[in-house]
């Protein structure tokens, strides 16, 4: 067993160990609105469930040279977002939204996706996702390093409206086989669901 203290590692080494070990990671494809009403789209894999009552998910967005990324900036200002699932059929389009653009320039033309109005918030979603969550900002937690520099923004988002495609919804459950979710591994590597099996918890 290799043992490594974090204070002996570079930031890049720690990053590689984390993204190579904490896998597979679900991908949140997020739409937000700029202050001028422009639609921003971006994928993030530092994403998970926090609680179900209330329904809260978390997205951690890393800063670049101390600057807020567009998605974080928009969520903090507008206090809402739409989070979409990423499936095999739309991964290529989602990946196009990862291209760096200057603030205020929408990734929508790069993706070829279609906007759809939300039911409970102003921010629109995209119709190509098999599920999407309308959400409002529950809490913003800046993450600082040892030098007290903010290096990431942890965003807790409370879901206020679910949109689920009928073909993935069966008897109150989401079918993973039909959803075909894509997960992020390390680097440019992604994964599909493999073998499914059940294991009951002990009573």
Report the CATH number that the domain containing residue 161 is assigned in CATH: 2.30.110.10
DSSP state of 202: P
Cα separation, 90 vs 71, whole angstroms: 20
pLDDT of residue 100: 87
pLDDT of residue 101: 85
Residue 121 domain flag: yes
Residue 15 domain flag: no
Can you list the residues of the chain whose pLDDT is less than 50? none
Task: Give the rounded distance of the alpha carbon of 163 from its chain centre.
Answer: 16
Residue 62 domain flag: yes
Residue 3 domain flag: no
Residue 170 domain flag: yes
Cα separation, 197 vs 146, whole angstroms: 43
pLDDT of residue 103: 84
pLDDT of residue 174: 97
Cite the beta strand spans of 53-181 per DSSP E. Answer: 55-62, 80-84, 115-116, 125-126, 131-144, 150-164, 169-170, 173-174
Q: Which residues pair with 184 in a beta bridge?
A: 25, 190
Give residue 142's domain range. 21-192
Residue 11 domain flag: no
| Residue 122 in tokens | 């102003």
Cα separation, 125 vs 108, whole angstroms: 11
pLDDT of residue 109: 92
* Structural domains counted in the chain: 1
Residue 136 domain flag: yes
């Amino acid at each position: 067993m290799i043992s490594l203290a974090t204070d002996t590692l570079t930031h890049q080494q720690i990053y590689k160990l984390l993204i190579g070990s904490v896998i597979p990671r679900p991908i949140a494809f997020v739409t937000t609105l700029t202050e001028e009403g422009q639609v921003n789209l971006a994928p993030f894999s530092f994403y998970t469930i926090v609680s179900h009552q209330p329904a809260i998910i978390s997205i951690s967005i890393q800063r670049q040279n101390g600057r807020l990324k567009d998605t974080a900036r928009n969520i903090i200002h507008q206090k809402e977002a739409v989070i979409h699932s990423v499936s095999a059929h739309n991964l290529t389009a989602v990946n196009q939204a990862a291209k760096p653009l200057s603030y205020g320039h929408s990734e929508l033309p790069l993706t070829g996706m279609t906007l759809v109005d939300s039911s409970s918030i102003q921010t629109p979603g995209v119709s190509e996702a098999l599920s999407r969550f309308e959400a409002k900002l529950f809490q913003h937690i800046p993450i600082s390093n040892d030098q007290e520099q903010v290096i990431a923004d942890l965003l807790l988002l409370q879901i206020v409206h679910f949109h689920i495609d009928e073909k993935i919804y069966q008897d109150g459950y989401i079918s993973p086989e039909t959803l075909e979710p894509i997960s992020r591994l390390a680097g440019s590597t992604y994964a599909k669901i493999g073998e499914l099996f059940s294991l009951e918890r002990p009573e």
